[in-house]
Structure 1
């Protein structure tokens, strides 16, 4: 294995010199405001074209929008990185507030653009999109034109936009503030200890079952005490969305998230159908793991427990060599990219205090770079985290040549490259494992991911569907929310999880993300789609990398159905398409059961 010493501290100065006091960054923000003024002027002077040849105004609008998005992404990523390395950076927090206001203003202007495009006659519109200059923007322009804000007048639209930060979005912020302020009291080692919610949740992976159960019970006690408050928050967020949807003539709660993820409901339904069809193997895995832990069924607080302990320690230098070596076996583009990331200081991995606990990947489209943030503490799980974030960065790399408007891919595609990269390392680790215990450790980690995507996230999806249905009739009580959650978990896990947290609706932050409802199914889509791609890669070998790059490159400019058809020649609305990825996961279960049969 290659061992090269790379810096564990990233280089942000090559993007904007000077940190949160950066003069180049201040100039960058000023440039964004100038670009927005230019967009405002173009909108004011826009006259709907009467012929196909008069497409210049539309071309200038879309190019202006694309450039603004590049500049905003560059700014937001820089601030994200500053706050990751120091969450208490007050200057960076102020800049984040500034950029959020600029982004809100940009969204208002985009709403105006949508209405302008709707006023173009259909025959003129179709002819314009066939011109050489607008062809590459056709999907996004149609998306803008079709996703107008329903029956809302411009005044209503602006009013809602103005109210969101201090109303609707404030509920999401209040939720985050509330959770971060709570303390969990757990009696351990003969005394009562106090933990943050995050620390208490992390105890679910403790080696001691008594610690895991005490943490689980203490958290459930806390959620029970606060359930009325959390009920008020989730009812307010859901109620606001329903009212806005109804004003726009939207009756199906899935309509908005499906549009945002650029997929048809038919595709989503067949994906869940395949997952439900193959629940039994994962129930078998949970049952076997429970038996190995001395219980008849899998207790919820035991799911994250380590089955075996990996004795292999891996340094950052060893990890960089392992990743580069195994990525090279997939293709030269991926190998060259990861070498660049290590050599040019794109990775912040130093194990030091006062960093954010959340791994991230931030893309810098104007300079064609990314930055990966994590804390590396010499474990195989750290390697997986690093690989996951490098997968996101490779997706950004694949889209370097794509114009600004077509760079934004939906959440449904966001987890694809990261999961794909994990699979390369999982396979490499399995081949390298020289003991039964090491193989079980790796298989257990893989299968936890499958269960989370096929069962846990399915329970979130079912719960949110049922919440929206009942919220249409009025406030949903805390007791009823608990019942909905319990029923959703039992269905999604096919009865294979015991003593589940009926308060999952209170402590799962995804329900409180105001930017997007149903912040669940895109994860499962990305996970299973990545496995389908990985199955293809194993068939075709290194020649698949070119197809993979092209697919990632197009991920921001077409629907997921068209993407699959164009690059794989397959229909994502058919069960056999999804089963190709599912077969990999089922094979993992079979190997796990075989290794533990005695």
Structure 2
């Protein structure tokens, strides 16, 4: 596709409407510029290092002693660092402005070159997985430094039953740049380029600004935004259906060749979590819909003075809520103080994000929507992206993404291969950071109305994190199952989407014509199939962790930091044992759901 010319220079701070001086990324810790000699140097090093690695080790892993295998793994890790550094820089620049053709080209070219250079490495995991268990055990027993990598080896070897021939694995690696990643870019560029004409607004708005109107105090504005979203999504629905059909079919082909027992199985393997644990989470949440979302939204309809809620009322502020804009300095202080109240060390770990150009906060044309924390590589530091508009929820998003950033900083000491945390545990620090911020605000509430507003906001966030994400997971399960039977029309996908909406949101809602297309803008379905259950997983886990903290578990802070520092070096059973928690316990998820229900109990009591 032809990309538009770069967007004009845009002053995020001028457009911030009194939000203060919004920070932007300083990416020079990765590379000084796209044409810097360091980029060319690392590209050249990567090409040679990959070729040298293959020449030194391909066909020879079974002959290595413990010291030789350790050297091999460490060389592989060093290659991973440079490849990750290059792609982090290219990706972060691209997400700052996905409509800039130079940035898009730089990322695509970098991805092509890195994929080509690393193709010779494909043999490593395949050959490693052919090592006999007894032989590998002997090597690990002989060398403690090598044994440290056992969690990495365990995750690799979990793929043994699903491994293809060396030739096929090389082909899939090479082909990836024109497969899923190409469709991902098409989706990202299309979404970033969408503009919405909302009744009553002078100018067209991008996706982020239009979604933001769904939380406006003016019901007419919320409705106008929802209808504009529906109109634009419907206009592009054939393209979005094509993206989902293609990606789901590609996944079905790969899964069939790899003999995966279900579309979700690959995600469970990468998350290092047992399928039955995820199923227990899903079943517990679905069973709790009536006492959570159904009950809460019935309360909300009453607060809003409505017999029925429309979809544009779901995230509406309460009538008693005083509209307010939180400037950047206030948001920073709120989160930093909440972190410091838990532990000064937590606030210290978060501080460089504010002072060193590690956050990009402003809403800008072409900038990717949403928010994320990207760990880059363990030799640099994470970067946080926000689209900060000064809403109270934006403060919680800052607390969330900073939690990720702190987690990534602490885990970096594990090294590149061991630092990465499975998605199921990756949400721990982020959701915990939100909980700390919420509890600090709740403790400081001066009036019953302020407490009610805070509680309602937290319940809505938890419903969005738990109920909505499990509904999304069910939608994905249905989508992939249906696609396995044949091509899906937009109407087919729309029907699957609506099949989970009424069930999860409850009888208080009516659904406008057009809402059936709202699956189209959710990036997780495109970028990371079945990612979404990790949010519910993280919320349930953090609720249980916070209960242990509130109950005064001895040395909780140190145990918490140890959990974060472990990164991906331990299984969830080992990580959570110091807190007396076990995810395989059937009653585990009920603890977290009971916390949400308890907040709703308090809100109901306020009505008595």
Same fold per superposition (TM over 0.5): yes
TM-score, with length taken from structure 1: 0.88
Q: Partner of 1:38 in structure 2? A: 52
Which of 270, 288, 295 is residue 299 of structure 2 equivalent to?
Answer: 288
Aligned-pair CA distance for 1:243? 1.3
CA 1:527–1:19: 2 relative to 1, 3 Å: farther
Q: Partner of 2:139 in structure 1? A: 128
TM-score, with length taken from structure 2: 0.86
Aligned-pair CA distance for 1:257? 1.0
Q: Partner of 1:537 in structure 2? A: 549
Aligned-pair CA distance for 1:547? 0.9
Aligned-pair CA distance for 1:127? 1.7
Q: Partner of 1:510 in structure 2? A: 524
Greater shift, 360-369 or 396-405, is seen at: 360-369
CA distance in structure 1 between the partners assigned to 2:445 and 2:106 by the alignment: 47
Which of 208, 212, 220 is residue 230 of structure 2 equivalent to?
Answer: 220
Aligned-pair CA distance for 1:525? 1.1
- Deviation per CA, 1:418-463, whole angstroms, max 9, x where unpaired? 1111111111111112233332332232122211122221221112
Aligned-pair CA distance for 1:171? 3.0
Aligned-pair CA distance for 1:100? 1.9
**Structure 2 spans left out of the alignment, 5+ residues:** 1-19
Aligned-pair CA distance for 1:303? 0.6
CA 1:232–1:344: 2 relative to 1, 3 Å: closer
Q: Partner of 1:3 in structure 2? A: none
Q: Partner of 2:408 in structure 1? A: 396
CA distance in structure 2 between the partners assigned to 1:241 and 1:352 by the alignment: 33
Does the alignment pair 1:18 with 2:29? no
Q: Partner of 1:169 in structure 2? A: 181
Q: Partner of 2:15 in structure 1? A: none
- Deviation per CA, 1:5-30, whole angstroms, max 9, x where unpaired? x9854673761563334334443444
CA 1:26–1:359: 2 relative to 1, 3 Å: farther
CA 1:107–1:215: 2 relative to 1, 3 Å: same
Aligned-pair CA distance for 1:233? 2.8
Greater shift, 114-123 or 176-185, is seen at: 176-185
CA distance in structure 1 between the partners assigned to 2:268 and 2:239 by the alignment: 30
- Deviation per CA, 1:184-239, whole angstroms, max 9, x where unpaired? 444437x9x74444443333222222222233234334444544443333222111
SS at match of 1:409: coil
SS at match of 2:164: coil
Tell whether the 8 Å contact from 2:350 to 2:405 is kept in structure 1 after alignment. Answer: no
SS at match of 1:372: strand
Once the two structures are superposed, the pairs formed by residues 481-560 of structure 1 within 5 Å of their partners are: 481-499=493-511, 501-513=515-527, 516-540=528-552, 543-560=555-572
Aligned-pair CA distance for 1:255? 1.0
**Structure 1 spans left out of the alignment, 5+ residues:** 1-5
Once the two structures are superposed, the pairs formed by residues 13-412 of structure 1 within 5 Å of their partners are: 15-16=29-30, 18-44=32-58, 46-49=60-63, 54-83=65-94, 85=96, 92-105=103-116, 108-131=119-142, 132-148=144-160, 150=162, 152-188=164-200, 194-279=204-289, 280-307=291-318, 308-310=320-322, 314-349=326-361, 357-367=369-379, 369-374=381-386, 376=388, 379-412=391-424
CA 1:231–1:361: 2 relative to 1, 3 Å: closer
- Deviation per CA, 1:380-439, whole angstroms, max 9, x where unpaired? 334323222211111012113212210122222222211111111111111112233332
Q: Partner of 1:470 in structure 2? A: 482
Aligned-pair CA distance for 1:533? 1.8
- Deviation per CA, 1:76-122, whole angstroms, max 9, x where unpaired? 33344444555566655444234323543466445311221133223
Number of residue equivalences: 584
CA distance in structure 1 between the partners assigned to 2:239 and 2:432 by the alignment: 40
CA distance in structure 1 between the partners assigned to 2:354 and 2:450 by the alignment: 27
SS at match of 1:130: helix
CA distance in structure 2 between the partners assigned to 1:166 and 1:594 by the alignment: 56
- Deviation per CA, 1:311-340, whole angstroms, max 9, x where unpaired? 565544444443333322212321321344
SS at match of 2:516: coil
Aligned-pair CA distance for 1:546? 1.2
SS at match of 2:62: coil
Does the alignment pair 1:573 with 2:587? no
Tell whether the 8 Å contact from 1:271 to 1:525 is kept in structure 2 after alignment. Answer: yes
Aligned-pair CA distance for 1:248? 1.7
Aligned-pair CA distance for 1:591? 2.4
SS at match of 1:329: helix
Aligned-pair CA distance for 1:250? 1.9
CA distance in structure 1 between the partners assigned to 2:229 and 2:50 by the alignment: 47
CA 1:333–1:217: 2 relative to 1, 3 Å: same
Aligned-pair CA distance for 1:518? 1.3
Tell whether the 8 Å contact from 2:192 to 2:368 is kept in structure 1 after alignment. Answer: no
CA distance in structure 1 between the partners assigned to 2:87 and 2:386 by the alignment: 18
CA distance in structure 1 between the partners assigned to 2:347 and 2:366 by the alignment: 32
- RMSD of the TM alignment (CA)? 3.1
Greater shift, 249-258 or 197-206, is seen at: 197-206
CA distance in structure 2 between the partners assigned to 1:326 and 1:339 by the alignment: 13
CA 1:315–1:302: 2 relative to 1, 3 Å: closer
Aligned-pair CA distance for 1:256? 0.6
